[in-house]
């Protein structure tokens, strides 16, 4: 049997969990090397501004993570990669390859978009494009036979067989049925994360729309499909029942892009979830499929918070620049339904869109959000260009980035969406900073206070406050004020790793850590009607924008 060591950073990775489960079921060994990347995990912090850049260096575990990988003597090192984590991933791969001659495979959104980038370095041997469960099993099987099979679908191999490109590109295989996959291997993360504090699961993949800024736009072309594929409600419930037996679960996080897009599915699921699971959950959604029935089902089934992708309250710009068809009237109807049934929700908002680089648009959006009764949080993101998305060409046309910047983006140098993105103008940064801080604190304010601040133009005073540190303390305040389990999970992970780094040697092989061993997982029940599997990396991080 082959030994596969996965490497992740910052948080649990659903693609890694899915592939590990498939490998174990096939009789192979898996292990995890977890780099906590405190203050630089690219979920909340990017480690780019003071004082977090200093703290990131102080608590860095990268060298120890590389040492642990080498000590485990893997047959394959598999690293999950998105644009925001590519520089970290390639540094890990370099550290490993300089010490052991073990095949390194990258998979996930970024390698699927730009396979030539990692394969153009000496540190990566194989790239998985798209879904990785079956390709990884076939790769491990071939290692057991003594020679890597370079004809495996979805994989690109670096070779020395005289081919002109130096690469063997294999065809992309059809998407798998989600119902045929094993439940994610959450045990892989038990030593490094409090799994029960935030139990991750997905019931579907894909999305009902294809925004210009999102990798879903690339995947729609890559897969030839937009429609999400779903697991049966019973399979999802069965996995959660097993999780309840194993963990003390405080919160369940459904990572579907639009959780309730299929009303018939959600109607059946919500009833069974309330009866058999009855644990608070969070999920993501979109205004278009929302109605009173969906809001009622969310409330009755125990939704703690719904994350809504709004992105802009300028209807014309939203359609023209973001490819989003919903009207402001439909967005307001969505808010009204959620307010009616007492469902808390957060709103994702993007700063930096063309034709919105003025205070009028920011003010109007703030006014609309301030009307909401149940708005729990406004997540502010800054316009960022990710590889092979329509937004890259648009930003070049608008003059927001230069043509040569596209190559930098394809090399894994995208700006971080929490750190002003592609916005460079100092005055705009100051304006965005003021409204980002206001949007963050606004849900905690009484309605009268919200409108008073807006009417008196007091928002501008917030521009003189440092953005990252101010929003950190606002979030800290809101965590305790709201007893927010999402933020408490992040704090719990940080506290766990503070203790380990300061008092227990940080990342290392522990005496209590079991050796690599095969764990047989029961075969999932196969049902017709779903078509997808996971990828080597989850297509989203924990902190991500909703569609």
DSSP symbols for 55-95: HHHHT--HHHHHHHHHHT--SEEEEE--GGGHHHHHHHHHH
122 has pLDDT over 50:
yes
Least confident of 95-99, 257-261, 414-418: 414-418
What's the CATH architecture for 3-177? 3-Layer(aba) Sandwich (3.40)
Do residues 535 and 181 lie in contact, with contact meaning Cβ atoms separated by under 8 Å?
Answer: no
Residue 65: what pLDDT?
98
What does the alpha-carbon distance between residue 395 and residue 521 come to, in Å, rounded to a whole number? 47
Provide long-range contacts, Cβ within 8 A and 24+ apart, for 214-220.
214/386, 214/389, 214/545, 214/547, 215/109, 215/113, 215/386, 215/389, 215/539, 216/257, 216/539, 216/547, 217/323, 217/389, 217/390, 218/112, 218/113, 218/387, 218/388, 218/389, 219/112, 219/539
CA dihedral angle for residue 334, residue 336, residue 340, residue 342, rounded to 10 degrees: 60
Asked, as a colleague might, if the bond just before 60 is cis with ω within 30 of 0, I would say no
Q: Where are the beta strands (DSSP E) in 181-336?
A: 199-201, 204-205, 229-230, 252-254, 281-285, 303-311
CA 370 to chain CA centroid, Å, is: 28
Mean pLDDT computed over 96-109: 96
Provide long-range contacts, Cβ within 8 A and 24+ apart, for 398-407.
398/354, 400/352, 400/354
Q: What's the maximum distance between 2 C-alpha atoms anywhere in the chain?
A: 73
> Please, what is the average pLDDT of the chain?
89
Residue 393: what pLDDT?
93
Q: Which helix (H) or strand (E) holds 6?
A: strand 3-9
448 has pLDDT over 90:
yes
Do residues 213 and 391 lie in contact, with contact meaning Cβ atoms separated by under 8 Å?
Answer: yes
pLDDT band at 52 (very low <50, low <70, confident <90, very high): confident
30 has pLDDT over 60:
yes
What does the alpha-carbon distance between residue 157 and residue 69 come to, in Å, rounded to a whole number? 22
**Helix 263-276 vs helix 292-301: crossing angle, to nearest 10:** 20
Least confident of 18-27, 319-328, 377-386: 377-386
Name the burial class of residue 507, with classes exposed (0-12), middle (13-18) and buried (19+) by CB atoms within 10 angstroms of its CB. buried
Residue 221: what pLDDT?
83
271 has pLDDT over 60:
yes
pLDDT band at 303 (very low <50, low <70, confident <90, very high): very high
Residue 218: what pLDDT?
85
Is the model more confident about 512 or about 75? 75
pLDDT band at 224 (very low <50, low <70, confident <90, very high): confident
DSSP symbols for 361-410: HHHHHHHHHHT-SSEEEEEEEE----TTSHHHHHHHHHTSS-TTHHHHHH
Q: Pick the closest to residue 136 from 195, 96, 182, 87 (CA basis).
A: 182
Q: Which helix (H) or strand (E) holds 455?
A: helix 447-455
Mean pLDDT computed over 523-545: 34
532 has pLDDT over 70:
no
529 has pLDDT over 70:
no
Do residues 128 and 154 lie in contact, with contact meaning Cβ atoms separated by under 8 Å?
Answer: yes
49 has pLDDT over 60:
yes
pLDDT band at 509 (very low <50, low <70, confident <90, very high): confident
Q: Pick the closest to residue 287 from 319, 226, 328 (CA basis).
A: 328
468 has pLDDT over 70:
yes
Phi, psi (rounded to 5 degrees) for 203: -110, -15
Q: Are 3-177 and 197-468 equal in CATH topology?
A: no
**Which value, in Å, is the radius of gyration of the alpha carbons in the chain?**
23
Residue 101: what pLDDT?
94
Two structure tokens written together for 216: 């879903």
Residue 422: what pLDDT?
73
Residue 444: what pLDDT?
92
432 has pLDDT over 50:
yes
| Domain definitions of the chain by residue range | 3-177, 197-468
Least confident of 164-173, 253-262, 275-284, 393-402: 164-173
What does the alpha-carbon distance between residue 396 and residue 101 come to, in Å, rounded to a whole number? 41
Entry pTM: 0.90
Phi, psi (rounded to 5 degrees) for 4: -115, 125
Do residues 381 and 346 lie in contact, with contact meaning Cβ atoms separated by under 8 Å?
Answer: no
Strand order in the sheet with 303-311: 199-201, 252-254, 281-285, 303-311, 345-351, 375-382
Q: Degrees (nearest 5) of the Cα angle 353, 538, 264?
A: 85
What does the alpha-carbon distance between residue 101 and residue 59 come to, in Å, rounded to a whole number? 28
User: For the domain bounded by 197-468, which CATH number is listed?
Assistant: 3.20.20.70
Percent of the chain residues topping a pLDDT of 70:
91
What does the alpha-carbon distance between residue 155 and residue 172 come to, in Å, rounded to a whole number? 8
């Amino acid at each position: 049997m082959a030994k596969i060591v996965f490497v992740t950073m910052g948080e649990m990775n659903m693609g890694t969990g899915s592939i590990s489960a498939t490998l174990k079921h096939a009789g192979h060994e898996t292990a995890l090397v977890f780099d906590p990347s405190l203050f630089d995990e690219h979920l909340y912090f990017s480690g780019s501004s003071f004082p977090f850049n200093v703290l990131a260096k102080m608590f860095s575990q990268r060298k120890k993570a590389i040492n642990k990988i080498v000590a485990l003597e893997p047959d394959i090192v598999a690293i999950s990669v998105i644009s925001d984590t590519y520089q970290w991933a390639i540094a890990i791969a370099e550290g490993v390859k300089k010490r052991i001659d073990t095949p390194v495979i990258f998979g996930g959104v970024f390698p699927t978009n730009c396979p030539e980038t990692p394969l153009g370095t000496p540190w990566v041997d194989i790239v998985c494009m798209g879904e990785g469960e079956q390709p990884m099993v076939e790769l491990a099987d071939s290692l057991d036979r003594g020679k890597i099979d370079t004809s495996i679908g979805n994989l690109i191999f670096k070779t020395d067989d005289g081919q002109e490109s130096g690469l063997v590109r294999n065809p992309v295989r059809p998407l798998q049925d989600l119902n045929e996959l094993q439940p994610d291997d959450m045990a892989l993360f038990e030593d490094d994360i409090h799994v029960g504090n935030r139990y991750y699961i997905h019931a579907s993949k894909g999305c009902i729309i294809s925004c210009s800024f999102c990798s879903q736009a690339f995947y729609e072309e890559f897969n030839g499909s937009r429609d999400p594929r779903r697991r049966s409600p019973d399979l999802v419930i069965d996995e959660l029942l097993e999780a309840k037996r194993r963990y003390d679960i405080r919160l369940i996080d459904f990572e579907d892009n639009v959780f309730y897009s299929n009303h018939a599915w959600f109607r059946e699921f919500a009833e069974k979830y309330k009866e058999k699971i009855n644990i608070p959950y969070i999920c993501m959604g979109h205004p278009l499929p929302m109605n009173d029935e969906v809001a009622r089902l969310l409330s009755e089934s125990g939704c703690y918070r719904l994350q809504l992708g709004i992105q802009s309250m300028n209807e014309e710009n939203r359609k023209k620049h973001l490819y989003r068809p919903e009207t402001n009237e439909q967005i307001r109807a969505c808010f009204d339904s959620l307010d009616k049934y007492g469902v808390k929700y957060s709103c994702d908002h993007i700063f930096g869109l063309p034709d919105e680089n003025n205070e009028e648009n920011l003010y109007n959006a703030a006014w609309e959000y301030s009307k909401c009764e149940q708005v729990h949080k406004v997540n502010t993101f800054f316009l960022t260009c990710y590889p092979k998305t329509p937004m890259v060409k648009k930003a070049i046309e608008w003059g927001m980035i230069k043509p040569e910047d596209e190559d930098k983006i394809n090399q894994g140098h995208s700006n971080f969406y929490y750190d002003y993105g592609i916005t460079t103008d100092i005055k705009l940064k100051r304006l965005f900073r003021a409204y980002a801080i206001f949007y963050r604190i606004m849900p905690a304010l009484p309605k009268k206070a919200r409108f008073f601040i807006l009417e008196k133009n007091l928002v501008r005073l917030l521009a003189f406050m440092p953005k990252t540190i101010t929003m950190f303390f606002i979030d800290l305040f809101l965590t305790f004020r709201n007893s927010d389990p999402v933020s408490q999970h992040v704090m719990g992970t940080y506290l766990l790793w503070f203790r380990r780094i300061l008092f227990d040697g940080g990342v290392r092989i522990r005496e209590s850590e079991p050796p690599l061993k095969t764990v047989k997982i029961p075969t999932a029940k196969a049902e017709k009607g779903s078509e997808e599997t996971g990828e080597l990396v989850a297509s989203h991080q924990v902190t991500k924008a909703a569609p």
